[in-house]
Chain A
Amino acid sequence: DQQVKQNSPSLSVQEGRISILNCDYTNSMFDYFLWYKKYPAEGPTFLISISSIKDKNEDGRFTVFLNKSAKHLSLHIVPSQPGDSAVYFCAARDDSGNTPLVFGKGTRLSVIA
């Protein structure tokens, strides 16, 4: 049973345009969500997070939106740059602080110059 789903395995976007990566979750106990970026031959690096008490969090070109009622979050990258080409993982955890992060399977973003 996959609790965090990233239904798009890959996404191609033109440089300068917006990239939108989507993530759905099923566990209503999740209340903290994170996005990680992973380049080949490297470990994932933390990108941005959002708590369930917010519906939006912004950090430079990266914005994460959370729709709790739909159990859906999205990561927007504006403008997209070739260096953003990587695999993006969505992750979630519940509010107990005692359970591990649950990751989606990732979306491979390709930004085309």
Chain B
Amino acid sequence: KAGVTQTPRYLIKTRGQQVTLSCSPISGHRSVSWYQQTPGQGLQFLFEYFSETQRNKGNFPGRFSGRQFSNSRSEMNVSTLELGDSALYLCASSSLFRQGNEQFFGPGTRLTVL
């Protein structure tokens, strides 16, 4: 079974630009969550989608948005990029029906904002 895939793996943007990141979950998984990882801050939860609906949202500004498609693939968008948005963005999928709902992570997209 293929794992969670994220594209692109690396991205360099400049301040003020926008960016779209993509995530394909494990086949059969309908829940997709996004996290931002920065040095010293661990994994900060961005949002979670299930069956194309946003179930949870973290404490991030409205510049961060996401969506999920009918095939469970998900995208997140960051508009008006700021230097502080430089981070590793991780996507995780889960089945929601396994005990504990263990999440399976993709390799992440490393975003650098110059």
Contacts and interface: CB of A to CB of B under 8 A. Distances in A.
Interface of A: 6, 9, 32, 34, 36, 41-46, 49, 51, 89, 91, 93, 97-106
Given A51-B100, A100-B56, A42 B41 contact: no
B100 to A, nearest CB: 5
B8 interface: no
Contact of A41 (B48, B101, B107): B107
Contacts of B48: 100
B27 interface: no
A104 B103 CA distance: 15
Contacts of B100: 32, 34, 49, 51, 93
A106 B42 contact: yes
> Which 6 pairs, one residue from A and one from B, show the smallest C-beta to C-beta distance?
A43-B105, A105-B42, A103-B43, A100-B45, A46-B102, A44-B105
Contact of A102 (B45, B90, B101): B45
A107 to B, nearest CB: 10
A105 B104 contact: no
Contacts of A44: 43, 90, 105
Contacts of A51: 99-100
